[in-house]
Amino acid sequence: MTKIGSPVNVNESYLKREDYYKNLIRKLNAEREKIKLGGGKSAIEKHKAKGKLTARERIKILIDDNSNFYELSTFAAYDMYKEYGGAPSSGTIYGIGKINNKYQVIVANDATVKAGAWFPITAKKNLRAQEIAMENKLPIIYLVDSAGVFLPLQDEIFPDKEHFGRIFRNNAVMSSMGIPQISAIMGPCVAGGAYLPIMSDEALIVEGEGSVFLAGAHLVRAAIGEVIDNESLGGAKVQSNISGVTDYIMKNDNECLKQIRSLSSKFGSMQTAGYNRIESKPPLHSPKEIYGLLPEDQIKPYDMYEIIARIVDDSEIDEYKAGYGKTVITAYARIDGWAVGIVANQRNVIKTETGEMQVGGVIYSDSSDKATRFIMNCNQRKIPLLFLQDVTGFMVGSRAEHGGIIKDGAKMVNAVANSVVPKITIIVGNSFGAGNYAMCGKAYDPRFIFAYPNAKIAVMGGSQASSVLLDIKLNQAKKDGKEFSEDDKKKLLDEIKNSYDESSNPLYAAARLWIDEIIDPAMTREYVSMAIDVANNNPDLPKFNVGVIQT
């Protein structure tokens, strides 16, 4: 084992970077607090006037005392659906928390946001929650309080493969997998949405507030002329004592949540995957020092070893092929006691043994080859993989092409795609082009994917992309007989760059669920440990086989 990292030099440059990063986190947390207000104070007051708890209050009561709830996709729908007044957190909250000391996925409709109606991104968010439950064989609890599909956008949520109906399909699949599902109907549960709780193993319903039916009273009257109220149509007593649709009648939210905890306490113990864990040791250097180590300008280099030294136990690693392919770091380490294999982009400029200078953050043929072999080793030894992304892509140019960069890059992509051990990805800085894929971006099924507040996700960097887009616009204008002055060109370039940068920032990515959550770098160890702990619940790893790899 090799100790890595060094004490920080707390100079003006360090303090400036630290202040910049802390300010990013402050702004992010301010946005998070706004989102937690859901539909706003007025909507919360109306909700609570009915004797109901808010979605986050329900979750807090449901999980174990003094335990953490790892909320995911908090920023779903951020800055989206403006024409409809927005949809904070997409009107649904989900995450991972401990109930009776066992991790479980919890999904709760926020009825203060458009009565808990489902927007297109809401369906995607619920599907992600179910995916996490299925991949990690975690029990899932649904706290239902929703008016159903948001009708103005029904064409974007109803018929496709990853739309509303997929949720009920997943209910059935999870049941066949033996994954416990419990639903609590704590408000309206209408139309197709009625299938979610009833396709769960057991369904609870709160008297006076919960109701479940395929068509509400208004629609029943319009469809068949029957005059009836919602309570008589599908309230708690009707659906529990007459139809037998629901299993337990609860007097209020608190009693309902207490009953869920009681049912959950009787779940049997499941087999684990057996990932290696020993006693945890803190890093030799404070994780909070990461703030001052990351550059404000993401083009600037920095030493990824210093970041890793503030994440791994005892700041200690077993580095694989340390002197070869240096723009990618591959190392075995421990995080909170868990054994991990780390694949990280080195952002410093690298001098090779032959004297060649390699650009940091770029994947070369040698580093791709090294990473491929390391990923295969981790799969052979059942060691979870942690990808620390700060990548601008694969090397380009005649020398790289003649050296077979596409072939070597394909090897790495192949190994990542076919990897069977849990993969956890953290986007530390840039995540550009095919580098996103090779370093296990969202398309490559990481169990969890997180981002730091200064992350960028795009086909290429803003400066390069805006130059390309400007050339396209200028060529088009030239064909139309138009000319631009130098000032006009500069103004247009700035507009393009600003627009491009906005669409590559982490809030934009989080809104569309390209990442699971934006995290505080100082919390990296905690999130990685949670992710491996959760992944350890699924012992059923398929056989590792990479198929055909060109050599």
Q: What is the DSSP string of 144-209?
A: EEE--B-GGGGGGTSSSTTSTHHHHHHHHHHHHHT--EEEEEEEEEEGGGGHHHHTSSEEEEETTT
- What angle is formed at CA 492 by the lines to CA 488 and CA 494, rounded to 5 degrees? 120
User: Which amino acid belongs to residue 66?
Assistant: N
Radius of gyration of the chain (CA): 26
- What angle is formed at CA 170 by the lines to CA 168 and CA 174, rounded to 5 degrees? 125
Note the pLDDT of residue 137. 97
> Quick check: 442 and 514 in contact, CB under 8 A?
yes
Note the pLDDT of residue 191. 74
Tokens at 483, concatenated: 């000319």
> Quick check: 347 and 293 in contact, CB under 8 A?
no
> Quick check: 41 and 33 in contact, CB under 8 A?
no
Note the pLDDT of residue 465. 63
User: Taking the CB of residue 417, how many other CB atoms lie within 10 A of it?
Assistant: 15
Phi, psi (degrees; rounded to nearest 5) at 401: -65, -45
CA atoms of 476 and 468, how far apart (whole Å): 13
Note the pLDDT of residue 550. 66
Dihedral angle computed from the Cα positions of residues 307, 312, 314 and 317, in that order, rounded to the nearest 10 degrees = -90
Burial letters for 317-331: b for 16+ Cβ neighbours within 10 Å, e otherwise? bebbbeeebbbbbbb
Beta bridge partners of 204: 184, 248
CA atoms of 417 and 367, how far apart (whole Å): 17
- Axis crossing angle, helix 120-136 with helix 524-535, rounded to the nearest 10: 60
Burial letters for 181-196: b for 16+ Cβ neighbours within 10 Å, e otherwise? bbbbbbbbbbeebbbb
Tokens at 203, concatenated: 């369904």
Note the pLDDT of residue 551. 63
Note the pLDDT of residue 479. 79
Widest Cα–Cα separation across the chain: 85
Residues 6+ apart with CB under 8 A from 537: 103, 136, 137, 138, 270, 272, 273
Beta bridge partners of 431: 391, 457
CA atoms of 109 and 209, how far apart (whole Å): 14
Residues 6+ apart with CB under 8 A from 530: 70, 96, 103
CA atoms of 537 and 532, how far apart (whole Å): 9
SS3 category, 331: strand
Note the pLDDT of residue 482. 79
Collect the ranges in the chain with pLDDT lower than 50: none
> Quick check: 328 and 368 in contact, CB under 8 A?
yes
Note the pLDDT of residue 492. 72
> How many whole angstroms from its chain centre is CA 537?
19
SS3 category, 32: helix
CA distances from 383 to 125, 218, 311, 544 (A): 29, 56, 17, 12
